[in-house]
Structure 1
Amino acid sequence: MKSLPFTFLTRLEQIYPQNFHEILQAFATNRQGSFRLNFLKTNGDDVFAEFHAKNIIAKKFDLLDNVFTFDRSQEFAIKGSRAFYDGKIYLQSIASMLPTLVLNPQKGEKILDVCAAPGSKTTQIAMLQQNDGKIVALEQNQIRFDKLNYNIQLQGATNIETYKIDARKFESAALFDKILLDAPCSAEGRISLQNEKSFGFWSEENILKKSQLQTELLQKFWANLRSGGELIYSTCTLAPEENEMIIVNFLEKNVDAQILPISLSCKNEAWWKSNIANFGNNDFSSLNGFGIRILPSEYTEGFFIVRLKKI
């Protein structure tokens, strides 16, 4: 098994001195699988009747509504189920569901999903809106764009417009009530020691490149948010350069931006942390601890979430 890069481990211990060893243990653990019911197609009765008949065991995740977990040994059976093929369930990591819950989409709202593929959060938004509202979803890669459209159709989401375009080149004068920017990142939070591809590409250079892209996207799409609207910025990385530093610099340059606290029912879990206070010579006290870091764990991959309001 290939070992994690020394520089990555050094950085990780600086970021999480108190949680370093438990995070390494999480990287070595085969995380629980998870899914949500698609309420556009089912109330769940037929799904769990099928699972019972096929001896598929799924457990309710008590900390969040409409989240179910399963042992990875059940994944093949779940993906072979009628419920999966009919789009009545959507396999999605728990941490990946959280940005949409923080976004809190409401019926009738106009929402922009900047980096939408493969459609996990896009279809989650549509479901929470009950297909009542408008979602604009962007993706530049053809394969991922096709996957996005496939999942939208499979999930029965009918209020989504998709555009195959580099988000940096998307030009629109439209103003949105809410924007989800789940930004491209170095994906450190998804590292699995059982999958070398999850960390084989890691480098500090990649972190720098991703931070430049994230900065550009956040600044660009802030102009498309209406006054009083909210933008959720999220990544699945642990790197402060892609998380706290992005937001601190953004708040310094945009006087009409305000960071808001985040509160979900899982906020007291050990894997739910406030943003880190500093990294190296960088101070993040201006965030007031309002940024959220989800630690890699048995149930979650690493995530960073911030809630911004245009004032």
Structure 2
Amino acid sequence: MNSRDIAFKILYDIIVNKGYSNIILNKYLSNSDITDVDKNFIKEIVFGTIERKYTIDYVINILAKSGIENIDSKVLIILEMGLYQIKYMDKVPDYAVINESVNLTKRYVGKYASKFVNALLRNYLRKLNLIEFPDQNNDIIKYLCVNFSFPEWIVERLLNNYDKNFTIEILKSLNEKPRISYRLNTLKFSPLQFENELKSKGLHYSKGLYYEEAYYIDIKNVDNNELYKNGLIQVQDEGSMLISKILSPKHGETVIDVCSAPGGKTTHLSQLMENSGNIIAFDKHQHKINLINKNCKRLGINNVMTMVFDSTKVNSDYIDKADKVLVDVPCTGIGIIRKKPDIKLKNYTKNDIDKLNNLQYLILNSSSKYVKKGGYLVYSTCTIGKEENFDIVDRFLNENNNFSIVNLTPFLPDILRPYVNEKGYIQLLPNINHIDGFFVCKIQRNV
């Protein structure tokens, strides 16, 4: 099976079978017979096709006489892959892309469908400069959706929070290739020891933008890297690291992480506590709990107790027991699209968002019961917009007058302090802060 066959199968499982991209990729790319060069090529096609799907589908709909809705799902994915390679990848000649696409169609659909694929891709090359794209003066939402390849619900969300020009900046930044940051496990190495280790291995690196335990390292396949396998590093964005820093757990405290999988923040909290005290980590799925336990073992962490629990409910065993509570709720994930472009495949309706907002509020409200008098709670998401962030916190504060906002400024590096808003919250943005788009606020229980 060649690289394009694998890319096709991965895309089919993600788009049609609604699989999670990280799980599907691991399923297909864990084969040791696939070279790193081929793995990178496959990933580029997969992520690129997903990232630009909205734009590509717009073009296909124009070129297909009977419309895109009448195209077989397998044929559509092959067309999307082909157009992505022709439109966005320079390294492969157009004729080779068309030939490979035709052959893919013959193998997975049939000879008749291959003629359609061949005709449409060649037609695109002939009419490349004749295809009309939406005019921003006539329909700004459609213009932004097609030109930057985002579904309408995301564009509408951003325009509801920012003006047109700033929205364009955010959309551009969310299409950029992300830098992967790694968190040094300071339970095992100091930064100086770690940097000497990197130099001895000939690995190129740069320091984090905001935190000394953050590193950008030239690692091709982290799962097979000795630094990772030996528990010296954890993949984690600096925006995610910020959340644990703001919660600021102390040595010996009791901390509850109510939505803890896959464990990046949980294990960071343990580092900050120097593997002392108690961290109780909830998640509603056993397989995700297993992942947290696996990460803790790899990193040498033993102060975390995991538990399968639905955090929309209240666990009576922990009422008034926690010094600190982390509430990193499920969200739309707009802020991490650079790393998870399959978020663009979701089609959230207003009703879906309303249900999600209610879930977020329910988790926040339930989790607040664990906070001791004088204790703290951090509410966070990896999305952008007041709908899942400011509005949820404001509702909670209006209905719980024994809690109040804590200004984040003392917990932030100097460079991030100007981004704290007048209420004391912070919304990180990829176009401004050059990390993932996280929202964070800290709340104290007063009585």
TM-score, normalisation: structure 2:
0.62
Distance 1:301 1:202, change over 3 A: farther
What is the aligned partner in structure 2 of residue 283 from structure 1? none
* Cα displacement (A) at 1:233: 0.2
Residues 58 and 69 of structure 1 are in contact (CA less than 8 Å); yes or no, is this contact kept in structure 2?
yes
Q: Distance in 2 between matches of 1:65 and 1:45?
A: 10
Match of residue 93 from structure 1? 237
Listed as ranges, the gaps of 5+ residues in structure 1 are 276-287
Say which SS state the counterpart of residue 289 (structure 2) adopts.
helix
3-state DSSP of counterpart to 2:228: helix
In structure 2, the partner of 1:282 is: none
Separation in 1, partners of 2:434, 2:196:
25
Distance in 2, matches of 1:44 and 1:141, equals 35
Q: 1:216 to 1:140 in 2, by over 3 A?
A: same
SS in 2 for 1:111: strand
Distance 1:132 1:227, change over 3 A: same
Q: Which residue of 2 aligns with 1:259?
A: 405
- Judging by fraction of residues, say which structure has more helix: 2
Match of 2:369 among 223, 239, 242: 223
Aligned 8 A contact 2:181 2:235 in 1: yes
Q: Deviations over 1:273-305 (max 9, x none)?
A: 345xxxxxxxxxxxx431110002473111110
Q: Does 1:21 pair with 2:168?
A: yes
Secondary structure of 2:306's aligned partner:
strand
Name the residue aligned to 2:323. 177
Aligned twin of 2:226: 82
Q: Residues 27-106 of structure 1 correspond to what in structure 2 (within 5 A)?
A: 27-45=174-192, 47-70=194-217, 74-106=218-250
Asked if 1:245 is matched to 2:391, the reply is: yes
2:436 matches 1:301: yes
Distance 1:309 1:105, change over 3 A: same
Percent identity, aligned pairs only, is: 30
Q: 1:37 to 1:195 in 2, by over 3 A?
A: closer
Partner of 2:423: 289
Give, in whole Å, the separation in 1 of the partners of 2:186 and 2:238.
17
Q: Partners of 2:278 and 2:375 in 1: how far apart?
A: 15
Q: CA 1:266/1:206 → structure 2, altered by over 3 Å: closer, same or farther?
A: farther
SS of structure 2 residue aligned to 1:76:
coil
2-structure distance, mates of 1:44, 1:195: 29
1:106-117 map, 5 Å = 106-117=250-261
Aligned residue pair count: 294
Q: Match for residue 163 of structure 1?
A: 307
The CA deviation string for residues 116-173 of structure 1, in whole angstroms up to 9 with x for no partner, is 1111011111111111111100011222111111001111111111101222345224
Quote the Cα distance in structure 2 between the aligned partners of 1:228 and 1:195.
Answer: 37
**Alignment partner for residue 290 of structure 2, among 140, 146, 149?**
146
**TM-score, L = length of structure 1:** 0.87
Q: Give distance in 2, aligned partners of 1:95 and 1:185.
A: 15
Please tell me whether the aligned partners of residues 135 and 160 of structure 1 are also in contact (alpha carbons under 8 angstroms).
Answer: yes
Cα distance in 1 for residues equivalent to 2:221 and 2:309: 36
Q: Distance in 1 between matches of 2:366 and 2:292?
A: 23
Instruction: State the alpha-carbon separation in 1 of the partners of residues 202 and 169 from structure 2.
Output: 32
Q: Secondary structure at the match of 2:430?
A: coil
Q: Residue type of the partner of 1:59? A: S
CA distance in 1, matches of 2:150, 2:234: 31
**Higher RCO (C-alpha under 8 Å, 6+ residues apart):** 1
Per-residue displacement from partner, 1:10-65 (whole Å, max 9, x unpaired)? 32123122632221121111111111111112224554344324432111125322
Which residue type is aligned with residue 383 of structure 2?
Answer: T
Whichever residue aligns with residue 195 of structure 2, its letter is F
Contact residue 313 and residue 363 of structure 2 kept, 8 A: no
CA–CA separation in structure 2 for the residues paired with 1:256 and 1:294: 27
Where does residue 199 of structure 1 map in the other structure? 344
1:267 to partner: Cα distance: 5.1
The verdict on how the C-alpha distance between 1:207 and 1:56 changes in structure 2, with shifts beyond 3 A counting, is farther
Say if 1:47 and 1:83, in contact at 8 Å, map to a contact too.
Answer: no
Given the alignment, which residue of 335, 343, 352 partners 1:189? Answer: 335
CA distance in 2, matches of 1:177, 1:25: 40
Q: Choose 1 or 2 for highest CA Rg.
A: 2
Aligned residue in 2 for 1:127: 271
